[in-house]
């Protein structure tokens, strides 16, 4: 009998835990289900350009603790809006027909797409165009609908928290205001969790536009009480009331061209000017994406990956494996594709932080 063949791709930004998921899907598919596994290289770029290789058991042995992705990834390749350079300008073409034809030639039982809202949004469109697809929730931002948590988030929070811990000592020694800027796109999950874990005095997230006067007042108040330093944890997507997010650059060929970054330096200048206190900014940036996954993310990735094989066997295509109330669930990709999951204003952690005197930049 002909073996079932599945393919795996990883799209969007890298994060700890991707290789653990690839390992889980591949090992279970080979060992228990006797499937053939294809690894698509560089995300949807590989689908468009027929770049793939067979994954064997030995290819995924020893990668549980490895950061990044052995398959490579792309943040710009989108079959439905593929950027092609024509002289000095870009043109966008719909290459979905070519991508779908390439996938059908592979005679796949399923395409497993590992990614965030961009990758899984494309996966949903492929499913609607007759490709059997299963999604897996990957993002350090934790901003995917339909799941309580994504793999990569815990690792990013751990790295950010360690950075905040280290900043504390130099802030105390020099009596400075120290700003730690973390990733998160348009959601404040990383900033909220790492800010709480690291004892941030001020936490600024996109969901709560801040008042610069309130931030300055908080810093001055701490100084008057003998706390001659302050730690500010800010999400890259944070913005002032009535203002806009700080954009680092635009990547025109991307389906989401906005690249955020730099809010920490803007805040630093404003705080120093208003308080007279020396202020320094540290941008965690891509440090949050790199390195080995935490034990929690290794376990979560493995659980999600093995569950994906169940969905393949059950032919429950068009779904993502998610987590709700500590239970693995299947979530329709159409729900995931609706947009990012932001921090609710009544989140218990926001309430707890306020009880402890943490400032969110508002009254």
Active site residues: 141
Query: Within 10 A of 340 (CB to CB), how many other CB atoms are there?
Result: 17
- What's the gap between Cα 259 and its chain centre? 13
Distance separating alpha carbons of residues 236 and 259, to the nearest angstrom: 9
Whether 203 and 210 have beta carbons less than 8 Å apart is answered as no
Q: Around 189, how many Cα atoms within 13 Å sit in the side-chain half-sphere?
A: 24
Whether 41 and 72 have beta carbons less than 8 Å apart is answered as yes
Q: Pick from 31, 108, 35, 21: which is nearest to 70 by CA? A: 21
Distance separating alpha carbons of residues 315 and 219, to the nearest angstrom: 56
Distance separating alpha carbons of residues 62 and 204, to the nearest angstrom: 39
Residue 177: φ, ψ to 5°: -95, 125
Q: Read off the tokens for 158.
A: 């751990």
Distance separating alpha carbons of residues 140 and 159, to the nearest angstrom: 11
């Amino acid at each position: 009998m002909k073996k079932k063949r599945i393919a795996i791709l990883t799209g969007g930004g890298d994060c700890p835990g991707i290789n653990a998921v690839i390992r889980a899907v591949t090992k279970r598919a080979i060992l228990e289900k006797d499937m053939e596994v294809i690894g698509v290289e560089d995300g949807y770029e590989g689908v468009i350009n027929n770049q793939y290789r067979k994954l064997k058991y030995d290819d995924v042995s020893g990668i549980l603790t490895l950061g990044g992705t052995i398959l490579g990834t792309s943040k710009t390749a989108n079959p439905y809006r593929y950027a092609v350079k024509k002289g000095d300008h870009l043109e966008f073409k719909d290459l979905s027909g070519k991508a779908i034809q390439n996938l059908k030639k592979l005679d796949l039982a399923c395409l497993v797409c590992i990614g965030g809202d961009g990758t899984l949004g494309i996966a949903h469109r492929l499913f609607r165009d007759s490709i059997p697809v299963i999604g897996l929730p990957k993002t350090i931002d934790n901003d995917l609908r339909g799941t309580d948590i994504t793999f990569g988030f815990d690792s990013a929070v751990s790295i950010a928290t360690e950075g905040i811990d280290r900043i504390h000592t130099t802030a105390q020694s020099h009596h400075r205001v120290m700003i730690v800027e973390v990733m998160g796109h348009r959601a404040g999950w990383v900033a909220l969790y790492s800010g709480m874990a690291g004892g941030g005095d001020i936490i600024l997230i996109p969901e709560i536009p801040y008042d610069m006067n309130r931030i300055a007042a908080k810093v001055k108040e701490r100084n008057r009480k003998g706390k001659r330093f302050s730690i500010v944890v800010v999400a890259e997507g944070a913005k002032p009331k009535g203002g806009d997010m700080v954009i680092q650059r635009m990547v025109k060929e991307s389906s989401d061209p906005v690249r955020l970054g730099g809010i920490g330096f803007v805040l630093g200048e404003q705080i120093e000017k208003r308080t007279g206190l020396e202020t320094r900014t540290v941008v965690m940036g891509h440090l949050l994406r790199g390195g080995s996954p935490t034990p929690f993310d290794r376990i979560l990735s493995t659980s999600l990956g093995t569950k994906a094989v169940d969905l393949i066997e059950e032919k429950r295509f068009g779904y993502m494996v998610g987590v709700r109330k500590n239970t693995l669930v299947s979530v329709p990709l159409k729900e995931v594709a609706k947009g990012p999951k932001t921090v609710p204003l009544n989140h218990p952690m926001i309430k707890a932080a306020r009880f402890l005197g943490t400032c969110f930049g508002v009254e």
